Amino acid sequence: MGWKSLDDMDLNGKRVLLRVDINVPVENGQVSDATRIERIAPTVADILAKGGKPILLAHFGRPKGKVIPELSLRICLSELEKAFGQSVTLIETLEDAEGSALPDGIILLENIRFHEGEEGNDPKFAARIAALGDVFCNDAFSAAHRAHASTTSLAKLLPSCAGRLMQAELTALEAALSTPKRPVGAVVGGAKVSTKIDLLMNLVGKLDVLVIGGGMANTFLGAMGASLGNSLQEPDLHGTARDILKQAETTGCKVILPSDGRVSRAFAANAEYEMIKLNAETVLEDDQMILDAGDVATDTIVNEFKGLKTLIWNGPLGAFEIQPFDKATMAAAKAAAALTVSGDLITVAGGGDTVAALNLAGAADDFTYISTAGGAFLEWMEGKELPGVSALQD
């Protein structure tokens, strides 16, 4: 494991600098989704139960080292208090925190990115923050791919550990990719190969089965020789797609591309479509586009799931936001969830579109683990070192 958890720390009477991610969506001046806030509540509860005093460090938006009132963490206060079941005190400036005794209870330091030293990972700034606490606890896996003062430097200045959410993320991802129950497979979908080249290259060396869906699959079909009309694809990456397929052959990773698809002339809800076979010989008309995997392809994917012990999911199989082009994603998600509930499959999913799709399918609650980490989740899957995790291991 290489990193400590809250179970390894003596927190009694200690001030705990707790890095969290509460960079939540806001609409009309209100938090519209408090999931990230709710998921840090167990860590705060455990720190309090162990006699510690939580001092929350967090960012909100991208102020780039300047004080921007619209990006104040004050907007999160009521949701934080609701999640924790007690009051939270906002300390508006670092000088306020340094210049007086901090009040009792849970403390929230104002947006850490109001300071240039945060994203610049400035040692002097990190030392000022470290002086406020006795222990550092990182519960922000979603920011672990950033080498910032509050994600890496604090871990080198104070006794450090992972919070409960960080611990859950690391445990789930290590179980999914580092030491998985085999056979292990992945669903990788979405619009573009260009954003996931490193991910695909890493996965074909570690997986037994790789399901490629969405617009990405079109690029692979085009690379094999298919003429796909107006379908979303990246012709300049046909060579890369062929390289990935060759690498998969070398490593023994079975790649599943859609053998049929829902093809329409309009990207619109309830648009008419045809079910068309997809292979290297496919020729679509200029105004036709593939918007979803077909029924045969979906059956193939579900059957592959039944042979797996571990499944990682990142990206939809089609234009899941509009019916009827959500069918493949919904059916596959429900199948994966059912296999998880029956105890036959370990399922780990992450990425914004993925979580949205699994929620639409009513499958998210049945997956083994859903990551809210976004970029950090992707970089972990790509095999990259995450500075925030490495700092805890050091």
Residues carrying an active site annotation: 36, 192, 352, 375
Query: What are the φ and ψ backbone dihedral angles of 38, each rounded to 5 degrees?
Result: -60, -30
Tokens of 182: 């085999």
CB of 13 closer than 8 Å to CB of 51 = yes
Report in angstroms the alpha-carbon separations of 43 from 60, 139, 210, 350: 20, 8, 35, 21
Task: Classify strands 53-57 and 209-212 as parallel, antiparallel or unpaired.
Answer: unpaired
Q: What is the dihedral angle through the alpha carbons of 186, 188, 194, 199, rounded to the nearest 10 degrees?
A: -20
* Cα(259)–Cα(359) distance, integer angstroms: 26
Report in angstroms the alpha-carbon separations of 288 from 93, 189, 258, 262, 320: 57, 20, 17, 10, 18
Taking the chain, what is the end-to-end CA distance rounded to the nearest angstrom? 12
CB of 140 closer than 8 Å to CB of 151 = yes
